[in-house]
């Protein structure tokens, strides 16, 4: 049974989850985030408890990541066409011996234990594997790991700084920019890179005036949708993803279009 259902914003009565209703794990995450008392209540008003998993992922800081990697085998037993490559991921360099066929996606997931980056279609059609390479969003499933020597790779695990999530990650949580969450790391990496593309004044197919573009573009909703079309969300969380992007892109604090139902509303819904 879900702990809550989402109701329309118009209903003014509010009763929020209190810390007592959370599991021990959820309380640990909130403690680790430094959220207590009123800030914790405010925070809980804005997120579903299921979203805490996304918050938790930001605690896989580089130290945690390093420990995990030490437990992994240095290399597989038999390698055909072995390539040695130094993968620089999230400001860490890891020398790897890989088969020439290995995609960057598989290297990240299977050799570096960075499983935030997801394998969706593995054919460049869904965008779940999107990472940022030398500042540009690219598909790790169609990138051979062997080609990545000397490149700076950022995955979703590398977006948080000093234990604090990237603004885009916070906005995705706040605006519920996902349902199952599988496409989310790709959506977030893509969105973060798009912020830069807009700053640089890069055009899209729906940009009307291609000849006179200024830097610091303010993207319309149509522009955001066109530019994010490489990230498919099968749950259809597109509206919320656009909301999340808009918040960070505009710098304005936008209220989410949903909030938790009260006990009274829940009771009413059950009896309806």
Partner 1 sequence: MRPFTYTASTNKEAALRAFTTTSHYLGGGTNLVDLMKEDVARPDQLIDVNNLEYNEIVKNDKGGFTLGALLSNAATANNKDVRQNYPLLSMAMLSAATAQIRNMATNGGNLLQRTRCPYFFETSMPCNKRAPGSGCGALKGMNATHAIFGYSQKCIATNPSDMCVALAAIGATVEVQKQDGSSRMIDFNDFHRLPEDQPEKDNTLNQGELITAIHLNEPAFSDHYYYLKIRERSSYAFALISVAAGMQIKNGTISKIGLAMGGVAHKPWKLTEAEAFLTGKSASQANFEEAAMIAMKAAKPFEANKYKVDMGEKAIVRALTQAYERKY
Task: Provide the binding-site residues for partner 1, judged by CB under 8 A.
Answer: 80-81, 83, 99-101, 103, 122-124, 127, 130, 136-139, 142-144, 146-147, 149, 190, 193-194, 197, 202-205, 207-213, 225-227, 229-230
Q: Give the pair of three-digit tokens for residue 29.
A: 């995450």
> Under DSSP, is residue 158 helix (H, G, I), strand (E, B) or coil?
helix
- Sign of the torsion formed by the C-alpha atoms of 66, 70, 73 and 75: positive
CB of 55 to partner 1, least distance (A): 26
Angle at 171 between CA 250 and CA 177, to 5 degrees: 115
Task: Quickly list H helices, the chain.
Answer: 24-32, 37-46, 52-57, 62-70, 104-106, 167-174, 184-199, 221-227, 238-250, 263-271
Q: Which residue, among 102, 101, 97, 103, has the nearest Cα to 72 in the 3D structure?
A: 97
Nearer to partner 1, 42 or 101 (CB): 101
Q: How far is the CB of 190 from partner 1 (least distance, A)?
A: 7
- Tell me whether residue 173 or residue 194 sits nearer to partner 1 (CB atom): 194
Residue with Cβ nearer partner 1 (163 or 236): 236
Among 21, 16, 5, which Cα is nearest to 38's? 16
- Residue 44 or 98 with smaller CB distance to partner 1: 98
Q: How far is the CB of 208 from partner 1 (least distance, A)?
A: 6
d(CA 127, CA 182): 11
Residue 182 Cα distances to 10, 14, 45, 186, 256, angstroms: 30, 31, 24, 8, 21
Q: Which is nearer to partner 1, 48 or 207 (CB)?
A: 207
Closest contact distance (angstroms) between CB of 159 and partner 1 is: 17
Q: Hey, is 6 helix, strand or coil?
A: strand
Least Cβ distance, residue 222 to partner 1 (angstroms): 10
Cα separation, 9 vs 124, whole angstroms: 37
Rounded to the nearest whole angstrom, what is the least distance from the CB of residue 217 to partner 1 in the complex?
A: 12
The nearer residue to partner 1, 20 or 209, going by C-beta atoms, is: 209
């Amino acid at each position: 049974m879900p702990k809550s259902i989402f109701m329309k914003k118009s209903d003014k009565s509010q009763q929020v989850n209190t810390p007592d209703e959370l599991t021990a794990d959820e309380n640990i995450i909130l403690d680790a985030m430094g959220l207590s008392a009123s800030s914790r209540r405010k925070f809980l008003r804005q997120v579903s408890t299921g979203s805490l998993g996304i918050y938790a992922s930001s605690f896989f800081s580089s130290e945690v990541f390093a420990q995990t990697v030490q437990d992994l085998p240095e290399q597989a037993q038999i390698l055909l066409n072995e390539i040695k490559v130094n993968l620089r991921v999230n400001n860490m360099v890891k020398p790897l011996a890989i088969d020439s066929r290995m995609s960057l996606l598989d290297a990240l997931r299977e050799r570096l234990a960075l499983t935030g980056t997801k394998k969706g279609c593995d054919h460049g059609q869904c965008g779940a594997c999107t990472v940022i390479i030398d500042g540009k969003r690219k598909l790790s499933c169609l990138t051979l790991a062997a080609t990545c020597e000397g490149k700076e790779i950022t995955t979703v695990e590398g977006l948080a700084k000093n234990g604090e999530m990237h603004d885009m990650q916070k906005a995705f949580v706040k605006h519920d920019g996902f349902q199952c969450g599988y496409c989310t790391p790709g959506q977030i990496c893509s969105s973060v890179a798009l912020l830069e593309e807009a700053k640089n004044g890069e055009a899209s197919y729906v940009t009307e005036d291609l000849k006179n573009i200024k830097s610091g573009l303010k993207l319309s909703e149509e522009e955001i949708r066109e530019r994010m079309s490489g990230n498919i969300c099968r749950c259809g969380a597109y509206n919320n993803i656009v909301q999340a992007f808009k918040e960070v892109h505009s710098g304005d604090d936008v209220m989410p279009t949903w909030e938790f139902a009260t006990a009274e509303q829940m009771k009413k819904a059950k009896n309806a």
